[in-house]
Amino acid sequence: MVTGDHEGRLGEEFFTPGSSSFAEFLAAHRPELLSTRRILPDGVRVEGAPHGTTVLALTYRDGVLIAGDRRATMGNLIAQRDLEKVHPADDLTAVAFAGTVGLAVDLVKLYQVELTHFEKVEGVPMTLAGKATRLATMIRNNLGQAMQGLAVVPLLAGYDPAAPEDGRGRIFSFDVAGGRYEKFAFHAEGSGSPYARGALKKLFRPGTSRREAALAALQALYDAADDDSATGGPDITRRIYPIVAVITEDGFERLAETETEELSREMVEQRRSRPDGPNAAV
């Protein structure tokens, strides 16, 4: 960390007026601590770093649900089977990621500190739209590495107490250049996202219960794993299941592994008689 000239004393930088952004503070005084600022030599591309996919989010009756599979791949190899891609950002917000695992984990940790730092400096929590804009800025700072093959594409979901009652669960997606886009009802990111979105198109219903929303998310991840080798489905033998979490007015809650296992086993059993999944309701 940044220190003063004498042990135990804070340096001048801590008393210099600036923004409420912790990332900007580091960029000004200790830029080497920001992994998103490290640019590789010209012409160098990294192809062998582990990548994670697929993540998705959908709104439901009480808020918003966010979920992700557990697989990370490195080329044609499975690099990790139990990766955690869904993380709380604060009490009312969660972020999931697809892309380069090492940078994504660092980005999530920095983002968590960023939101806490803002609240301590300003005395109030950041609005959900502000959180999305701040995350977009952090992604834009990683553009140089994204162009060299180290892209991170997060998915942000949150509960917005200031929104109308039927729209408090909100979802934001981003591109590698820091573009911010609000998505409505549902969205998915990662290499399996086209198949997950296709499943959610037929399964999503406004105002569903938490259980129904969780089953829809698991069905979508199963369809993604069925057609995308980089996405992992529920691993019954190893007892590795997708991560599913909800954000409501009560805050972030990750579904217990016993609940996720029960729902996953129910879904897999249904697939025995209908391998392509449930039909869309007419």
Residues recognised as catalytic: 53
CA distance 120 to 123: 5
- Please give the single-letter amino acid code of residue 105: V
Task: Tell me the DSSP string of 172-199.
Answer: EEE-TT--EEEESSEEEESTTHHHHHHH
Query: b/e map of 212-223 (b: 16 or more CB within 10 Å)?
Result: bbbbbbbbbbbb
**Token reading at 19:** 């923004």
**Token reading at 206:** 């406004």
Largest CA distance in the chain: 72
- Please give the single-letter amino acid code of residue 57: A
CA distance 260 to 257: 5
Task: Say whether the peptide bond before residue 54 is cis (omega within 30 degrees of 0).
Answer: yes
Contact 20, 133 (CB under 8 A): no
Smallest CA-to-CA distance from 156 within 107, 192, 117, 211 is with 107
Smallest CA-to-CA distance from 70 within 88, 97, 109, 103 is with 97
Termini Cα distance of the chain = 59
